[in-house]
Structure 1
Amino acid sequence: MHRLFARMIDAFRPADGPPPHTLLAFFRWCLSGAWPGLGFAAFTSALGGVTDVASAVLLGAVVDAVVSTPVDRIWADQGWLILGFTAFFLVIRPAIVGLSTASSSVIINPNILPLVLSRLHRWTMGHAVTFFDNDFAGRIAQKQMQTARAVTEVASEFVNVVTFALASVIGSAAFLVSVDGWGALALILWLVAYILLIRFFMPRIRSRSARRASARAMITGQVVDTITNIKTVKLFAHAEYEDRVALGAMAGFRERALDFGRVSTWFRLSLMVVAGALPVILVGGAILLWQQGQASAGDIAASGAIAMRLAQMTGFVSMALMGVWGSIGEVEDGMKTLAPPHALTDAPDAEVLGRVQGRIDYDHVDFAYGRGDGQGGIHDLDLHIAPGEKLGIVGASGAGKSTMVSLLLRLYDVEGGALSIDGHDLRRVTEESLRRNIAMVTQETAMFNRSARENILYGRPDATEDEIIAAAKAAEAHDFILGLRDHAGRVGYDAHLGERGVKLSGGQRQRIALARALLKDAPILVLDEATSALDSEVESQVQEALRRAMRGKTVLAIAHRLSTIAELDRIVVLEAGRIVEQGSHAELLAQGGTYARYWNRQSGGFLGIEDDDTSEAAE
């Protein structure tokens, strides 16, 4: 039965389409495919509610039987009733409660959270890089978990509490009708007052909960941002400043939590007054009917049991509803953060690129990050790169070098003109198939807090151990990897590198990143300051590995150290997003222009580009 229940909901089933932007539709999107399992759990919960009413009815029947039967005839006349009462409380009721508990513990809780979280995570991963650039990484992660947990709590509470309570109320009303219609009417009037109380308080709880959730996520984002940059914090002696910033976020959360606490207190107080009225109404009414000969002692006992149970239930149902409305507020808050439409998507008829030859065409490309002011980005870039050509890209900071590469990887779409590979417009191919054809090594190397092996294997997950080691050797990384040891005692290729590879030097990170790119063996290779963190001795070794890696590939190499690109087939010089010079190293030196000035101003092989704008202004 356990395995059957566990399989009622596919915990990792993909969602149907993008997330909607209205609350009920968003819940349907989160829970689609789970409805049969939720329906079964709701049925068992309702069965438990009916069982509670049946308990009171049986109690009343036993009281009537005891009162109306002589002591010496109890077992003879009421034996079957007593046995049924015993069987109900020792067998039937525990079985129903156990079934309801299993439904909640096995069907709902273990499956709904991963179902919702996996859907939110997939959707979040599909956002363009600008989405992540504009927010805290910790805040986004917090929103994913917060929203998945809140949806799970809403589903669980509705199944376990709301359906249980509805079944109990309906069953209670049916019993009271059988005694006297006035009791049922009194219950209905009380229920109306209870619903009005809920209707008044719940929207206030919901809005305050959303603000509290937003403030909580801001704390997480701020703290994660500080911890992520902890070395910078310590180097600049800003621990006190970061403490003040964190305390400011915590103070904001405290104020939101106090707002939530105030409305919760008034709600709880009002609730207890309404709940206390129910036993008075039902028991008092039953006593009046008994005085008039219209109700039995058992009816009084049953009415009292039902009244006390409903009064108790009022408390936990209301607290559950407060939790539900609070969770709904958190879902709304998370929905606003995570569910916006993707800014960059594959066209409906996008084709899947196979392995390309590597021809790249920038046809009068314009891109300025949507600013529309003509500042930054690239402008009317017309550049055609033949398959297998090795192209160097040079320019001052902000000239457009990284923008060229970002457009090639389709991290953004061009705003004007067209960019294609082998004649395929990048806007008409799938993002995944495009990026499988491009390997990249950047100056800011990205490492996962995983083993060295896993970080290299990221280039091609199906590679063999021999291929991993060969790539590491080619990148001059094998020897230092063998000497790695992490805090858990893992060594060599099994050693974990720490968050963002903090346990490695800059040169070691670049060599692992290079090994990853070599293992990928894509037809297009992008090098963005790929050897900037290497010392001269290691660089000379890696340069040889790069030469081997470049064979047969189209290469785009961004460099400030001109010696690293001097041997390439062609070099383009960018200024303010436009190509101002292009040609071989020798040709550009012969022109005596911008490139020649950069070359002549190098010191120790490094390019003094960053100060170039200032120098030109002075000339």
Structure 2
Amino acid sequence: MFRFFESLIDPYPQDEPRTPPNGLLAFLYHYSKPVLPLLAVMSVLTALVSIAEVVFFAYMGELVDWLGASERGAFFAEHGWELAGMALLIVVVFPLLVLAQSLIVHQGIFGNYPMIVRWLAHRYLLDQSLPFFQDEFAGRVSQKIMQTALAIRETVMKLMDVFVYVAVYFTGALFLLGRTELWLVAPLVVWLAGYMAIAVYFVPRLRRISKAQADARAQMTGRVVDSYTNIQTIKLFAHTLREQDYARGAMDGFMQTVYKQMRLVTKLTVCLQTLNSLLLVAIAGIAIFAWHQALISLGAIAVAIALVMRLRAMSDWILWEIAGLFENIGTVQDGINTLAQPKAIADTPEARELTTPHSEIRLEHVRFRYGNNGGGHSEPPVIDDLSLTIAPGERVGLVGRSGAGKSTLVNLLLRFYELESGRILIDGQDIAGVTQASLRRQIGLVTQDTSLLHRSIADNIAYGRPEASEADIIEAARRAHADGFIRGASDSKGRTGYAAHVGERGVKLSGGQRQRIAIARVLLKNAPILILDEATSALDSEIEAAIQEQLFALMEGKTVIAIAHRLSTIAMLDRLVVMDAGRIVETGSHEQLLRQDGIYAGLWRRQSGGFLGLDAQAGTSSGPHVMPTT
């Protein structure tokens, strides 16, 4: 039975996630569509439960009157069927309604609903642009997903539950009291007006504080996660106390919202309890006076007092539900700011799969600057009117001082950023018109800053080709000279070898070990276009020399772009392209560039000095761009 209700909703809808709308109601509807049928059933069952409770109170009043008016000997003969009906309602009908409602709410909705939100939001954010994640704390983004998913569920369910329950229950209470003595309705109406006034005053204030609190909580989580993610850097610079202060700043901001919230809570509690006490005194006084004047029966007094006591209990619940509703609305509105951001880089509706029969790369008048998303020109161009053609199978080395634009060019080729002008073509296909996934499948990349997933070594290598066999994974590791240290790897859970986990971002491995796993991953991927951005920078000379052989073997038949500050590692490539200030200033083979005695020749001569930096004799760049060569 439980499994049936748990499977009424698929928590992992396969529809392609779209950009969520910015409006609150539209945002709630966007994530609630799969759950709407069950939410409607929940509302009907809630209404039936409310009606059953009101009918129960009516029975209680009738029972008091029967007991007062009937002879004991004839009581069961006169009212036996009514008592049996009351027992049936209490023992059978009401529990069945509660069971049905609980199955719908707890099995059908409660777990599946927020998981739908998490699933769709996570899939959408995975397709967000690289700058989106560079501008946010990873912990803050994940916190927003978790908070918003729960807040959407609570907002919608509280809204429907409270509205239906209050509407049915309060209407029933008015009817029961009004049919016995019209004056009993007056205190209830006055109480309702006071109750609404309390809600109007306190709820918006709680909502504003809750929204600020949700943002402060996410900021606090982001700072804490940032410290843990960069724990090695913190310990290296002995800045534990500095990080404590950094986290405490966010914690203090969060606590200020808590203090403000709790002050309102105290005021709200006192006002509500005072109002409820006045209601009880007013209803009891009027009921007793009406009984004294023989206007109502004892049963009516019992119903009136019981309903008031029930309303007193409900009023706390209702107001806190409303406060919780607006608290969750504040959290949802805060989540909208993150989750509803449109994708900065998105596939066009007519985007097609990239095909690479030859793997020719052509850049035509490419221009790009950072910080130009809003159309402003706050930063100078990093790439300025650059044109370059790389023939199929050609191996090209990019050379230039730090900041010349080499790595930016690689990021543009991968379409991590959009061009300001110009275009990039692969085999005549503009990369802006192909799917990003197909583009990146055709490119293998090894960077100097290798980040691994907190999974097994085998999983990290197989990321290059998920369908690869175990033998293929081991062969790629062997070719990357990683098999030796992998065999001896282990983790805290007793996993060894290729099953050992590498820690967050691969922190359990040395830089050289991470680099070799990254190289193995690209060897396994075997894409037709290969990009090496300081691919061997973290390796010692002996391992580098051994891996170079594998890399040169891997280059066969591929179009290659290689970036290296150690010019000796790329001197044997087919062509070298020298960049400076976002432009191509020299191009040719190693020997040709030495004969030109320009920037490249100056950089080559300075290799023996241990760095690749500013050469006053051979360039026009300004600023001390110093880059270690070892």
Q: Do the two structures share a fold, i.e. TM-score over 0.5?
A: yes
Q: Equivalents in 2 of 1:224, 1:540: separation in Å?
A: 38
Instruction: Assess if the C-alpha contact under 8 Å between 1:359 and 1:421 holds in 2.
Output: yes
Q: Which residue identity lines up with residue 456 of structure 2 in the other structure?
A: S
Instruction: Assess if the C-alpha contact under 8 Å between 1:109 and 1:156 holds in 2.
Output: no
Instruction: Assess if the C-alpha contact under 8 Å between 1:15 and 1:32 holds in 2.
Output: no
The counterpart of 1:609, out of the listed 602, 607, 612, is 612
Give per-residue Cα distances to partners, 1:244-293, cap 9 Å, x unaligned.
11111111111111111112221222111222233333333333333343
Give per-residue Cα distances to partners, 1:398-431, cap 9 Å, x unaligned.
1000110010000011111111111111111111
Q: 1:5 maps to which residue?
A: 5
Comparing 256-265 with 488-497, greater Cα deviation is found at 256-265
Q: 2:627 maps to which residue?
A: none
Give per-residue Cα distances to partners, 1:540-583, cap 9 Å, x unaligned.
11111111211111111111111211111111011000111111
Q: Equivalents in 2 of 1:221, 1:58: separation in Å?
A: 56
Q: Equivalents in 2 of 1:442, 1:16: separation in Å?
A: 31
Instruction: Assess if the C-alpha contact under 8 Å between 1:353 and 1:429 holds in 2.
Output: yes
Q: 2:79 maps to which residue?
A: 78
Q: Does 1:502 align with 2:507?
A: yes
Alignment of 1:410-429 (within 5 A): 410-429=415-434
Q: Which residue identity lines up with residue 48 of structure 2 in the other structure?
A: L
Q: Equivalents in 2 of 1:104, 1:178: separation in Å?
A: 35
Q: Which residue identity lines up with residue 261 of structure 2 in the other structure?
A: F
Q: 2:66 maps to which residue?
A: 65
Q: Which residue identity lines up with residue 468 of structure 2 in the other structure?
A: A
Q: 1:37 to 1:411 in 2, by over 3 A?
A: same
Q: 1:283 to 1:108 in 2, by over 3 A?
A: farther
Q: 1:307 maps to which residue?
A: 308
Comparing 518-527 with 121-130, greater Cα deviation is found at 121-130
Q: Equivalents in 2 of 1:91, 1:504: separation in Å?
A: 64
Instruction: Assess if the C-alpha contact under 8 Å between 2:162 and 2:318 holds in 1.
Output: yes
The counterpart of 1:476, out of the listed 478, 481, 489, is 481
Q: 1:89 to 1:107 in 2, by over 3 A?
A: same
Q: 1:552 maps to which residue?
A: 557
Shift of the alpha carbon at 1:613? 6.7
Shift of the alpha carbon at 1:338? 2.5
Q: Equivalents in 2 of 1:549, 1:159: separation in Å?
A: 61
Q: 1:565 maps to which residue?
A: 570
For residue 491 of structure 2, give the secondary structure of its aligned residue in structure 1. coil
Alignment of 1:5-404 (within 5 A): 5-13=5-13, 14=15, 17-369=18-370, 370=372, 372=377, 375-404=380-409
Q: Which residue identity lines up with residue 5 of structure 1 in the other structure?
A: F
Q: Equivalents in 1 of 2:409, 2:61: separation in Å?
A: 82
Q: Equivalents in 2 of 1:350, 1:278: separation in Å?
A: 66
Q: Equivalents in 1 of 2:524, 2:240: separation in Å?
A: 41
Give per-residue Cα distances to partners, 1:470-503, cap 9 Å, x unaligned.
2111211122111110000011111100000000
Q: Equivalents in 1 of 2:424, 2:333: separation in Å?
A: 39
Q: 1:612 to 1:293 in 2, by over 3 A?
A: farther
For structure 2, the 5+ residue unaligned runs are: 625-630
Give per-residue Cα distances to partners, 1:26-67, cap 9 Å, x unaligned.
111121221101111222222222222122112112111111
How large is the RMSD of aligned CA atoms in angstroms?
2.0
Q: Equivalents in 2 of 1:16, 1:597: separation in Å?
A: 52
Q: Which residue identity lines up with residue 612 of structure 2 in the other structure?
A: I
Shift of the alpha carbon at 1:442? 0.7
Q: Equivalents in 2 of 1:59, 1:45: separation in Å?
A: 21
For residue 487 of structure 1, give the secondary structure of its aligned residue in structure 2. coil
Q: Which residue identity lines up with residue 40 of structure 2 in the other structure?
A: G
Instruction: Assess if the C-alpha contact under 8 Å between 2:491 and 2:501 holds in 1.
Output: yes
Shift of the alpha carbon at 1:525? 0.9
Q: 2:537 maps to which residue?
A: 532
Q: Equivalents in 1 of 2:286, 2:123: separation in Å?
A: 58
Q: Which residue identity lines up with residue 224 of structure 1 in the other structure?
A: V
For structure 1, the 5+ residue unaligned runs are: none
Q: Which residue identity lines up with residue 560 of structure 2 in the other structure?
A: V
Shift of the alpha carbon at 1:356? 4.6
For residue 582 of structure 1, give the secondary structure of its aligned residue in structure 2. strand
Instruction: Assess if the C-alpha contact under 8 Å between 1:393 and 1:557 holds in 2.
Output: yes
Q: 1:210 to 1:373 in 2, by over 3 A?
A: closer
Instruction: Assess if the C-alpha contact under 8 Å between 1:60 and 1:301 holds in 2.
Output: yes
Instruction: Assess if the C-alpha contact under 8 Å between 1:162 and 1:317 holds in 2.
Output: no
The counterpart of 1:486, out of the listed 487, 491, 505, is 491
Q: Equivalents in 1 of 2:561, 2:247: separation in Å?
A: 42
For residue 505 of structure 2, give the secondary structure of its aligned residue in structure 1. helix
Q: Equivalents in 2 of 1:482, 1:275: separation in Å?
A: 72
Q: Equivalents in 2 of 1:523, 1:613: separation in Å?
A: 39
Comparing 265-274 with 411-420, greater Cα deviation is found at 265-274
Q: Equivalents in 1 of 2:617, 2:73: separation in Å?
A: 112
For residue 73 of structure 2, give the secondary structure of its aligned residue in structure 1. helix
The counterpart of 1:595, out of the listed 587, 597, 600, is 600
Shift of the alpha carbon at 1:92? 2.0
Q: 1:615 to 1:588 in 2, by over 3 A?
A: closer
Give per-residue Cα distances to partners, 1:440-489, cap 9 Å, x unaligned.
11111120110111111111212222221221112111221111100000
Aligned length: 617
Q: Which residue identity lines up with residue 10 of structure 1 in the other structure?
A: D
Q: Equivalents in 2 of 1:330, 1:62: separation in Å?
A: 48
Q: Equivalents in 1 of 2:187, 2:590: separation in Å?
A: 94
Q: Equivalents in 2 of 1:537, 1:34: separation in Å?
A: 60
Shift of the alpha carbon at 1:125? 2.0
Shift of the alpha carbon at 1:207? 0.5
Q: Equivalents in 2 of 1:614, 1:159: separation in Å?
A: 75
Q: Which residue identity lines up with residue 195 of structure 1 in the other structure?
A: M
Q: Equivalents in 2 of 1:59, 1:90: separation in Å?
A: 15
Q: 1:225 to 1:618 in 2, by over 3 A?
A: closer
Q: 1:433 maps to which residue?
A: 438
Q: Equivalents in 2 of 1:329, 1:290: separation in Å?
A: 48
Q: Equivalents in 2 of 1:318, 1:202: separation in Å?
A: 9
Q: Equivalents in 2 of 1:55, 1:374: separation in Å?
A: 72
Give per-residue Cα distances to partners, 1:341-375, cap 9 Å, x unaligned.
11111122212223453111110110012262662
Instruction: Assess if the C-alpha contact under 8 Å between 1:356 and 1:437 holds in 2.
Output: no
Q: 1:581 maps to which residue?
A: 586
Give per-residue Cα distances to partners, 1:511-566, cap 9 Å, x unaligned.
11111111111111111100000111111111111112111111111111112111
Q: Which residue identity lines up with residue 442 of structure 2 in the other structure?
A: N
Instruction: Assess if the C-alpha contact under 8 Å between 2:412 and 2:419 holds in 1.
Output: yes
For residue 286 of structure 2, give the secondary structure of its aligned residue in structure 1. helix
Shift of the alpha carbon at 1:164? 2.4
Instruction: Assess if the C-alpha contact under 8 Å between 2:356 and 2:427 holds in 1.
Output: no
Q: Which residue identity lines up with residue 268 of structure 1 in the other structure?
A: T
Q: 1:615 to 1:179 in 2, by over 3 A?
A: farther
Instruction: Assess if the C-alpha contact under 8 Å between 1:349 and 1:428 holds in 2.
Output: yes
For residue 361 of structure 1, give the secondary structure of its aligned residue in structure 2. strand
Alignment of 1:513-532 (within 5 A): 513-532=518-537
Instruction: Assess if the C-alpha contact under 8 Å between 1:363 and 1:418 holds in 2.
Output: yes
Q: Equivalents in 2 of 1:238, 1:560: separation in Å?
A: 31
Q: Does 1:445 align with 2:463?
A: no
% identical aligned pairs? 44
